[in-house]
Amino acid sequence: MTARAARLALCLAISLGLAQSSYRVVRVVDGDTVVLESLGTVRLIGVDTPETVDPRKPVEAFGKEASAFLLALLKGQAVRVEYDQARTDKYGRTLAYLYLADGTFVNRKIVEAGFGYAYTEFPFKYLDEFRAAERGARAQKRGLWADAIPVSTSNPIVLVNRKGSVYHRPKCRELVAGFYPVPMSDLPVKLTPCKVCKPPAR
């Protein structure tokens, strides 16, 4: 190798090294956003922290669980960063995939563990992989899927307020604290469908 080629190889090695250097995690903002040293706020690509699918749990409660999961994963860690086509979003946050030193793919891990959805609104290079991870989490009832009310079109679940004579769809605004799920087949005869959310009639 000539001296010139050696210098060129060294430069290349250094620039590759810089492109792959790791960043210290400063703080976890929520289940899909972190602050990295010298990069600032980073939104993880391909994952969306839930609002809950379980109407018995308040939305913020699951958001906290998702943040706690990410914090446990990233606390005291340095992460390697990979980019997709867009480097920033409209809020100026960096968009990235994160990897732990042991190779754990953080973005996918969140979906696998059921602490986030595969975010499919925009295409990204691991879309199919993340969808499969979400299917696995649902099938294994992990994380936010653990208490999810099963969806069945032939015998849908409806919700009933403890004090009340009507039944509701899961997202009805008329639901108050203390409601419980019932499959249509087990619904007490005296209950009638809500006029606001119009659940299926018997």
Q: List residues near Zn ion by CB under 5 A.
A: 168, 172, 174, 194, 196-197
Cα separation, 160 vs 157, in Å, equals: 10
**Has 112 been annotated as catalytic?**
no
Answer yes or no: 43 catalytic. Answer: yes
Judge whether 82 counts as a catalytic residue.
Answer: no
* Cβ at position 198, least distance to Zn ion in Å: 8
C-alpha Rg value of the chain to the nearest Å: 23
- The phi, psi pair for 151, rounded to 5°, reads -100, 125
Give just the sign of the alpha carbon dihedral 64, 69, 70, 75.
Answer: positive
CB closer to Zn ion, 95 vs 172: 172
Name the catalytic one among 7, 27, 37, 51. Answer: 51
The active-site residue, picked from 43, 65, 108, 169, is 43
Closest separation in Å from C-beta 58 to Zn ion: 18
Strand-pair partners of 47: 118
Whose CB is nearest to Zn ion?
Answer: 194
Measured CA to CA, the distance from residue 49 to residue 116 in angstroms comes to 4
The residues that are catalytic are: 43, 51, 93
